[in-house]
Amino acid sequence: MIATVTANPSVDRTLEVDALVPGEVLRARGWATDPGGKGVNVSRALHRNGLDTTALLPLGGAPGRELAALLAEHGVPCERVDVAAPTRSNVTLTDAAGTTTKVNMPGAPLTPGETAALLDAAEALLASGPRWLVAAGSLPEGAPDDLYALLARAAARYGVPVAVDTSGPALRAAVEGGGVDLLKPNEAELAELVGEELSTVGDAVAAARRALAPGNGAVLLTLGRHGALLVDQGGAAWAGGPALAPRSSVGAGDCALAGYLAASGPPHERLAAAVAWGRAAAALPGSTVPGPGDVHPEQVHVVPDPAPELLIKEL
């Protein structure tokens, strides 16, 4: 079983329009409501592909009840921590060209007691011996910046590998705390972490190695339509595929992480699976997660030790 913790879950509402025109009345030609949040998306993708998973999340108010019902509708096992503030809702607008505009609410604040309850529930999941613990997503108001670093330390006590997918102060705290088996930033998040623009493969690999320095295991750096880089103590590899016309980018990185965790075998095979799952998600509407028939690993190729002078935008 792969357990996920999402501190700031959401009800994700997606509207498809022909063109996004500010100031105009737009008519949706398609819409969907899905359970959301990075860890939730990882669990949804794993479950749809036949893997055991449990999603742990704080839920509050009518939106929290709606999110629990949506997870049940999708068949995703859920452990909930009841909180006072209502769960947030996010809105995504996707136009015919595949351009995605996302409006995220800040999220329901957590009290110190609710944060402690979330950590206690995570520890109970760890005691059950999951194959991985995924700590993912933004942190709501009131949660400490080192929440995911605390989860990584708890996972280490139980011998459970941990993957962290977050940004900003939460990512910095997790990196500096060390002991994270897999960090999954995107290009912008890693650039913010190191305070430098990442233009070339060499820039990205150097930044990833700085993130590994405090004692972390590997960096899976997702690059959107440019594929992904995997950097660990053994070296670096890039994987990508032919040009893809995305329908929605929402959740593609989360599905890439799910693909990496679902795969077995050496690191380059996990990297290939990550890219295949991420590409499949980008080809689907809204925050739909791919199933086995959507994933095409035969379209992905892996390049060990890519040339450092290559521009990321040309991969």
* Dihedral-angle region of residue 286 (phi above 0 means left; psi in -120 to 50 means alpha; beta otherwise): left
- With tokens 């509207």, the residue in question is 15
Q: Is the dihedral angle over the CA atoms 309, 226, 45, 57 positive or is it negative?
A: positive
CA atoms within 13 A on the CB side of 55: 35
CA distance 69 to 114: 21
Phi and psi, residue 251, nearest 5°: 80, 0
Q: Which amino acid is at 145?
A: D
Q: Which two tokens stand for residue 216?
A: 């972390």
CA distances from 57 to 152, 211, 232, 258 (A): 17, 27, 30, 17
Neighbours of 104 (CB within 10 A): 15
Residue 311 per-residue DSSP state = B
Q: Which two tokens stand for residue 108?
A: 């329901």
The catalytic residue among 203, 254, 294, 305 is 254
Q: Do 236 and 306 meet the contact criterion of CB atoms below 8 Å apart? A: yes
Strand partners, 81: 58
Q: SS3 of 171, please?
A: helix
- Residues in the chain, overall count: 315
Q: Which two tokens stand for residue 123?
A: 């520890």
CA distance 185 to 118: 23
Question: Does the annotation count 254 as an active-site position?
Answer: yes
- With tokens 């800040």, the residue in question is 106
Residue 196 per-residue DSSP state = S
Catalytically annotated residues: 254
